[in-house]
Structures are given as C-alpha cells and as structure tokens.
Structure 1
C-alpha cells in the first residue's frame, strides 16, 4: 500500500514546473543583465549550467537578421550542446527527451523585431495582419520549431488548456521577461515573487471594464466573477472612462485588470500610489509595451514601476483577439498554476506581439487555494 501511495505521489508531482526546467537568458554586454541572472538563479535554485549569455544589441528593436544571428541561432546552439531536447522528437516523450521548458529573459535584451516583409505597396503602410514583425519573446516560444511562415501569427497549442506544461508534450517554450525602467525595479522582480508566494498574495481585486468592444468587457466581467467566487474582495468600475485621477485606490490592491487608455492615468499616475508587493496588474491596450523603456509611454512599464510584480503587454498592434485573455490568466493563477503556465494558457497565438513580464515560477495563489498559509496580522481581514 505504501508503495502504491508513493508511486501515485511521484506521478502527481512528475509534471510540476521546476527550477531545473528554466533557462535564464541574459545579455553578456550588460552588467545589470548579468547580475539579475545570477541573483534569479540563486533565489530560485536554477542550476548554474542553465544560465545562457548572449552577445546581442542593447537596443529595444532589432532586425530579423539580428534576431537570428544574435539570439535564435546562439540559443539553438546552446540547446544542442546541452541537449535541451532530443532531436528525434521533442513532443514524443517530454520527460525523457526534454530538459528545458521555460526561457526567462533578463533586462537589456531586445524586445521587438521590426517589420521587413512583405514590403508595403507604394503609398501604403504596413499591413498589420501580414507582417514579420513580432515580440522577441513570442518568437522564442517557437525556438524548437522550424519551417513556419513568419508573416502572421501561429496558433498557440497551449491556449486555454488546464494542464501542467511539462506533461503536455507540446514543442513550444514558455517565455517570460524580467525588466523595468530602473535597476531597482528589475532586481525587485527577481527577488520579490519568491518571498510573496510563501504567504500568498492577499489583497483587493480591482476590475475596470467599460472599453470600446463588448468582447473585452466580457473578459473583464469573467475576471470579476472569478475573483468573487474565490473569496477575494473585489471592486468593479463600470464607467466608460478609466478610473479617475483622484480615485482612492487601496494600497492593498493585489490584482488589477482594466482597459482602455493609451497610457497609465488616474490613480496610476499618482506618485504616491503603490500596489501590494507581488501584485498582478494588467491593462489591455494595443501598444502597452511598444515603448517599454520610455517613461510615461504605455502601461506595462508604468504598472511595474508602481510595484506590480507581473504584467503583460504588446510591442506592436496585436488586434483584440490575439491579446492575452485576462479572464483565463486570472483563472489559472487562482487554480495554482505558475505565471509562465497561466500567461501562455491565456495567449491564443505565437510568433506575434505579446510579452509577459514576471517570474515564470511565481505561483501567487497556490498556497492560498488550500489555505496552506500561516495567519498573519496584516492579512487577517483578507484571510477571514
């Protein structure tokens, strides 16, 4: 009987996403990038051999050739040398044939691949549905896949699943990024999530619906219902405008989902506002990460500078149906999945414009789900 129980427990834990499954990729030209990689490996217990240095431009946007020569090809060479997967079949037997499932990118790595083909017709702009431009991160999700067409998106086979990625048998990678406007923010993203998840992410959920399309509002309605179902105190704003400038947003805000403004406004432009440590904060907008390194431009970096530990963004126009689905993301996090798994379950497409910012191993709600936490004075109302 004990043998059967041990066998069952081993099978149940066999597909858990572990530090050994993560490759930490950094830019060898950047001291900050190197420091983040070493510290992330220390905090999460990632094997030293899983750290990968690239020699690539310290610019946000690069050409397709620069992506191939300085990012994709060197990573493929590292994968071959370290046998990240067996060439005979990455998807056939994932536990035997594959070692690395997640790529976490450090600061000062390029984020955008600019448009090159097809060339626009004379007098016309880029056809945003037929373009080879993409987020570096989204392109790297297909690192192990060759031969696909790079002039539009590819379907994400992990979209809307509810299963551990390690056991899924899928050939894609889960790609997350740790980056911010300042070194302090970058280092906080490295260290904070591991500490927060030990006691759980307690606090308010704030949902700001009222965007331009009914489809997006339905996603946010589903977020609101899901967090209420989970017992999280929630505030729903139903006005067409985003939250007003003087809105008294609680500093105990741990989850924020909203839309639709071009740049951070309302309480998020208040210099004194901070999210709860470890917070998940996302604003749906086509260009939320297009100018990530420019202060005051877009939502992704602005939310991280306000103390969020996890957000998402788009580097070019994605179109609504090819954005991260906040309802799926939040649902999977509440089910106890990692940020890497939940975020890529919520992304319908690959080789496109989406980026995930945050520790891929972060599981903010895993212990809360089973109340595997110690009661604390600061969280007593939320735990109650």
Structure 2
C-alpha cells in the first residue's frame, strides 16, 4: 500500500511560466480516486544535479514518485538518464518502442533523425508503458520501498498513458484486489473553512471512506473515496457517509461529480417543463450565455434583455420610471420590477434579474459588490435577494450568476 505520492514535473519551461502544470492537477485527481495521498508537487528545471536532489528529497517523504516530462529526443531531456544514475540502473533500447517511433515517421512522411532513437531507451527491468498518441514510451519500476513512474510531458500523451497503463500498474502494487469507488459532492454558498468546521468530526474520524475537501472557482467539493472487495459495498459506505454530511450541510449541496451549478439548474427547469427569461444589468448577459450552452436550451430559455442603462430598463424592459427615480437602478425595488418585467415580456414561468455594482466605483451611493437578484417564480411570488460580494469586477459578476442558480434551485426544490 502506498502511503503517499509525490509528482515531480521536469522542464525549465514550467519554471519560466511558459506553460501551466496541468499534468500535476490531472494526476492528483487520478491518485485521489485511487485513495493515494499526494502531499507534494515539485517542479525542476532541465538540470541533472537539481533533479537528483529532488529525487532524493522525494524518496524521504513518499513511496510513489511520478515524473512528468524530460523523455524526449533532445539533450535537455534527461529524466530517465538521471533516474538511472540515482538507481544505478542501465538504460537499454526497447525494440517495440523503436518500431513504434519508426512507424510514426513513416506514416507522417518525415525523415527520422538519429537522436529520435533516444526516446526508445528505457530503464532496464522496467515495465514499458506504451505511448498510443506520441513517441516516447513511459516506464514503471519498483525498487525496494519505492515505485517510480515516468510519463511524457504532453498532456495528450500523458493522460491516456496513465489511464490505460500507469493506473493498472499502481493497482497491481496496491497488493489487494479492492474496488475503489469515488464520488464528488458539490456545494455552493458556504466557504471551505465553514464546511470543514461543520463536518470536522467526520473528517477526523475518516477511515473508509475518506473525505477530501477542495475549494475552487467559488465553490467547495468533497471527494468521498471507499475501498472494498465488493463494489456495491464500497458504494454503500459512500452513501452512508454522504447521508451524514448532507444532514449537516445539505442546504448548500447542489450536485455530484462533473455537475455544474448551471447544468443542475438547467436540468431542473427542463424536467419541470418551465421556461426562463432574464433581465441583466450588472451581469451583461453572462447568465443567459451560461444557460444557453446546453443541448435543448431553446425549450427552456425564451430570451434575455441586457439593460445597462436606465433608458433601456424603462423603454425596452418596461421597468417603472417611478421606481428608477425614487429608488435607483441598484435597489431591491428595481430588481423586483426587472424580474417581473422579464417574466411578462417573454411570457415565461420564471424571470430572473441582476442589478448591482461590479466596480470600480460606487453607483447610486452603493459600494462595490452590492448585488440584488430578483426571482419571479412560477407560483406568482417574486423574491429579491441582497448579497454583498468582494473581489474583482469579473469575479463579482461570475459569483452573482452562480448565486442566482443557488437561490433559484433552493426555491424550485422547495416547491417540488
């Protein structure tokens, strides 16, 4: 059983900021699904001395070391050479890999230079991982207490190689024929620290399933991972833990796995056979843009008005001049009338509205981050929600449309 893993990315281009290290993100997610903890991500330039130091350091704190990059044909591709030196292993030519490389050049009608043969050289005694989408093969090798996996740098090569071959090798080394099942719970409207506080005892007592919190993109997720000889029993263990979690923080829960808060709302409205329209001042059409990305959007979305100015609010949308004069565009009263007007204009079951101050300056005497969201509901009731946000102009707009989804989902589920 692996106690922990470390991912070591090799390449000076990563340190120079020329490319993002998306491989580490992908591999961490894959390893989490296998129940393997990743405690460190390391990035090393194309330098054998520094890579050697990184390897020795990683061996002290992890028993699974995964390397990405540095398997190419050029002189600065030095990952396997450095590892071979550290492990005192020979490098040998893999004939199958060489044939694959030669075949690739023939198919593309390109002349194969001599240095490309370097990509077919592997660590002696390693399991060679086929590269179905490129040339350089990967390698997997277990030496004493440590397992080393070498993967190419390009994500289009690395990802299928790991899923098809690297994952299988790791599972073979776990030593037990357990089923590993994962499920992601998605939350909005609660911060990571508050969610962890609310379920702190469950996290502290976790054994099987494990509970891994993650915050990002203004949301919080919990990954539940269970292991058992029976897949059904693993799923039962996850369901049991999920029930305990949702009993405490269920009001913020909206979906699973690859769900987004927009896809969940869209599906709910479509299943309810409702139609939707919007009036967007603050958000400038962002909400309707997100909601029209789904197949079948024309059966749900009737239309939207982007109404930045009071003139458009009044003369196109139909907002009362008296409301604009008395309360201003950034007000509860205006948000309510905007939602009602959108619902009436497009003759929909639901109308939503957005008005507020995204910045950089104040508006109508209201500070940056002031947001009003109006919801004209199928029941005939119209509610307005005032929230105060912080952050950049774009961040405020992005969070506003997500808050609308969260609020509307709560209203629709409450009535169903």
Normalised by the shorter chain, which TM-score bucket?
under 0.3
Q: Give the TM-score normalised by structure 1.
A: 0.24
Q: Give the TM-score normalised by structure 2.
A: 0.22
Which has a greater percent of helix? 2
Q: Which has the higher contact order (CA 8 A, sep 6+)?
A: 1
